[in-house]
Structure 1
Amino acid sequence: MNASAAGFAGEMLSVGLNVVPFVWAASPAAAELEGVVMDWVGRLLGLPQRLLFSGGGGGVLQGSTCEAVVCTLAAARDRALARLGHAAIMKLVVYASDQTHVTFQKGARLVGIPPSNFRVVPTSAASGYGLAADAVRAAVDRDVARGLVPLYLCATVGTTGLGVVDPVRELGEEARRHGMWLHVDAAYAGSAAICPEFQGYLDGAELADSVSMNPHKWFLTNSDCCCLWVASPRALTSALSTDPEYLKNVGTDGTGNPAAIDYKDWQISLSRRFRAIKLWVVLRRYGAVGLRAHIRRHVAAAKWFERTVAADERFEVVAPRKFSLVCFRLRASFAGDADDVNRELLAAVNASGRAFMTHFVVDGKFVIRLAVGGAMAEMQHVMDVWELLQDKAEDVLQRYRL
């Protein structure tokens, strides 16, 4: 459970008030609070000024990363087609790594990019499974030579499977070279950037056209809540805006105030929830100090777990931990198929009812993932999981020993 009492209270307010702030006039307070909250969170993360309302950019609360991805892909598509003509849509290419969340492939299909024009760039242990700029450059150059048009590049800060961080600055420079839209997906790990020691992972964000982070993952906020910042709100609204006659009389504050935002033009649907209030409650309840303590407590527990696993000769850490996600497995090379052994271990732990972990497959290897992220998770809980793992590992290995 990664929500909180404050998030729960904010969710109740959102539901109970039943405000639907799709246009400014529907609830000026909701629209303006969203802009304030988005700049607050952006400054906490150390985002560049160009992505904030105070610097000419702006932010919106989407329901999920999937929605944010579709919106930014649509904005990138329309920006390119305004220059190339609509017939060129079959030439547009989207780039991501084999560690990037699959939602980007889904989003590309939804905005009309042919599946054959989605490039999954391979990563390897040599690069820490991060997306190397050289690999992107090679893929882009091949496509340009074939007459295709590079459109969109995703850099991930904290990949779903391994928690890997892509080199944002290097990828941003590659995107600039061909006029691609650079999106930084920090859905999980972006929350950690409120701590100064983690802000370096967002180095190069000033080169991004958009950045997203999900407070409902690690920021004590109830689902659904996804922060999306864009450097050019006009690019987003040009692709998503609608102007039917029945909304023309309620689309502004009546004074021509340019600060009045119709958030219906920043998202897929017209109607929307009052998400800003629950994020506002969390920020006011915990503050920067409380939220940083929350993140650091989880990271400290994950560090301990990583060290402990690495010290046990039966286990191996598969990828270096960067946040609160530890990826490990039983070596078990002496006792039959290692993947079978690890599958049994994970099943035994989850069947105990005392802990729940998930898996990933990288380089053909079955990997167990421990994510420390619960609102009430403490070091003792992680230590208890380690004791459970040791007991279950011994039981599983006993059956495989010759």
Structure 2
Amino acid sequence: MNWDEFARWGRHVSDWAAQYHRTIRDRPVRARTRPGEIAGKLPVAPPERGEAMDAIMADFERIVMPGITHWQHPRFFAYFSSNAAPPSMLAEMLVSTIAAQCMLWQTSPAATELEGVMIDWLLQAMSLPEGYTGVIQDSASSATLSAVLTMREKATAYTGNRDGLGGKGNLRIYCSEQVHSSIDRAAWVAGIGQRNLVKLPTKGPRYGIDIDALQAAITRDRASGHIPAGIIAITGGTGIGASDDLGAVLQVARAEGLYTHLDAAWAGAAMICPEFRADFWSGVEGFDSIVFNPHKWLGAQFDCSVQFLRDPRPQLNTLKIEPEYLKTTGEAVTNYSEWTIPLGRRFRALKLWFLIRSYGLEGLRARLRNHVSWAGEICEEIRGLDGFEIVTEPILSLFTFRCPGDDTAQQALVDALNDDGRIYLTQGSFGGRKVIRFQVGQFDATRDDVMMAATVIADVYERLVHSLEQ
């Protein structure tokens, strides 16, 4: 492909993208293909000679698109939406075109310096105190792993990387039973082990960690010769939106000298709205590490996760490695690859710059406020359906419910709804029962998109019951 062809096909793809979003409501939200169906349409061997873009694009439409679940669909109520606002997409086109590897300041000064400014913008937007800094990670999983590794190194006086963990004792990390599975995986990868990830019960209207149980577990572990290493708190957990009392968690951590990490991957975005901070952000000051994903609720193209750090030195002492070929001479600069696990880094700050400048904080706040309001409205509509039960009340824009029947009935309804195609939901588990999650968060969703879900749920449930009776 020459550059004239690239320009022509670039225009074609841009036009295709705009039309895709204009008509996305006409598509079923979840892919309807069966396992192996897409692979079965592909050649088993690569081509020996190049093919024309016309043929490639035709196969893209014929083979790939039927197997796509549409995360940008305004009736995507499953998981947490991985949003992609138009300015963010344009920024990603530029990033792909430049194709810079931004591991060091000198390999792309603009990427490094823009990243620092975007971190500062977000710190201001979320009302975090002066002195915090941060770094853009690929995902919350990477940020959490970085924090867990830092907990491990601090607890071993920074000897774990050098010596390994043999003879170091059982390092213990504490969290609630509502944490995301990425916390478990971080404990595995860091060598802490599942048995040393101490999951504690929750209590209260937002299902926060039981502070008395937390303190008792730490005291008990010290008496048993274990080594407490850190506490992981959550604001807006994935399952039901569980949110810890951050001030109380931090008080225990300070008394025990433990490193703290806050997983606010989804709900952190809402903290740009001052009215939500009292319930979900109070006491956040002093957490050593905080993560939130602009690629979820805020509208930044995936992937883009921000990790704030009260003091970057512990993480740098954990992750920094500087062979001769990576050294930067001259004036002191920031090399963000020393703050993260991967050496290679994408120019993720550009999409944040485009996004925030295009909408402004108030434009972004308006979307989040709408989602929270509409979640409350649709929750009441579902509560009014005959025999339906709201299991967990809305926490920001997430709630869970059950239809009449046992756990098998809940899964049957989820499957039937997703096969229907008009909306997309996922199942979860709470209190030993299967629940159906509903989360409002797609960037371009309207109130009509959200409210029609009650009609769809009632319609599909009625058809499901009728089919079972026959």
Give TM-score scaled by structure 2 length.
Answer: 0.78
CA distance in 2, matches of 1:277, 1:314: 49
- Aligned amino acid, residue 446 of structure 2: E
Partner of 2:299: 220
> 1:169 — aligned with what?
247
1:283 corresponds to 2:363: no
- The 3-state SS of whatever aligns with 1:318 is strand
Q: Which residue of 2 aligns with 1:74?
A: 149
For the 8 Å contact 1:341–1:397, the answer to whether it is kept is no
Percent identity between the aligned chains?
Answer: 36
Match of 2:116 among 32, 35, 38: 35
Distance, in Å, in 2 between the alignment partners of 1:168 and 1:89 is: 29
Q: What is the deviation of 1:401?
A: 7.4
Contact between 1:8 and 1:222, CA under 8 Å: does it hold in 2? Answer: yes
Q: How far did 1:317 drift? A: 1.2
Q: 2:434 aligns with which of 356, 366, 378?
A: 366
The reply on whether 1:132 has 2:200 as its aligned counterpart is no
CA separation in 1, counterparts of 2:290 and 2:167? 26
Cα deviation for residue 91 of structure 1 reads: 2.5
Shift of the alpha carbon at 1:61? 0.5
- Alignment partner of 1:291: what SS? helix
Q: Which runs of 5+ in 1 are unaligned?
A: 52-57
Among 79, 82, 99, the residue aligned to 2:178: 99
Superposition deviation, residue 83 in structure 1: 7.3
Counterpart of 2:460 in structure 1 is 392
Take 2:84 and 2:387, find their aligned partners in 1: how far apart are those partners?
Answer: 35
Change (3 A) 1:181 1:392: same
Following the alignment from structure 1 to structure 2, what is the Cα–Cα distance between the partners of residues 359 and 243?
Answer: 45
Per the alignment, in what secondary structure is the counterpart of residue 374 of structure 1? coil
CA–CA separation in structure 2 for the residues paired with 1:290 and 1:317: 31
Partner residue, 1:55: none
User: What is the distance in 1 between the residues matched to 2:242 and 2:99?
Assistant: 39
Partner of 1:342: 410
Tell which deviates more after alignment, 89-98 or 154-163.
89-98
Counterpart check, 1:46 vs 2:127: yes
Aligned AA (2:86):
A
Determine if contact 1:3/1:374 at 8 Å carries over to the other structure.
no
Q: Would the alpha carbon gap of residues 395 and 185 (structure 1) be closer, same or farther in structure 2, given more than 3 Å must change? A: same
Larger Cα-atom Rg: 2
2:124 is equivalent to residue 61 of structure 1: no
Does residue 384 of structure 2 align to residue 303 of structure 1?
no
Residue in structure 2 matched with residue 181 of structure 1 by the alignment: 259
Q: Between 89-98 and 188-197, report the one with greater CA deviation.
A: 89-98
1:381 equivalent to 2:459? Answer no
Distance 2:467 2:258 in 1: 54
How many angstroms apart in 1 are the aligned matches of 2:459 and 2:209?
37
Partner residue of 1:314 out of 387, 401, 405:
387
After superposition, the C-alpha distances for 1:23-52 in whole angstroms (9 at most, x for unaligned) are 11111111111010011011111122232x
The answer for unaligned runs of 5 or more in structure 2 is: 1-71, 73-82
Match of 1:112 in 2: 191
TM-score of the superposition, structure 1-length normalised? 0.91
Shift, 1:138, TM fit: 1.6
Shift of 1:388: 0.6
Q: Alpha-carbon deviations, 1:297-355, whole Å to 9, x = none?
A: 1111101011222233421111121211121111x2xxxx4212222211111111111
Residues 375 and 440 in structure 2, CA contact (< 8 A), matched pair in contact too: yes
Counterpart CA distance in 2 for 1:244 and 1:151 is: 29
Query: What is the root-mean-square deviation in Å for CA atoms of aligned residues?
Result: 1.8
User: How far apart are residue 399 of structure 1 and its match?
Assistant: 5.7
Q: In the alignment, what sits opposite 2:19?
A: none
Cα separation, 1, equivalents of 2:86 and 2:167: 50
CA 1:89–1:7: 2 relative to 1, 3 Å: farther
**Shift of the alpha carbon at 1:84?**
8.3
Distance 2:455 2:266 in 1: 27
Q: Post-superposition shift, 1:289?
A: 0.9
Letter of the structure 2 residue corresponding to residue 98 of structure 1? E
Equivalent residues of 1:89, 1:113 under 8 A apart: no
Q: Does 1:211 align with 2:301?
A: no
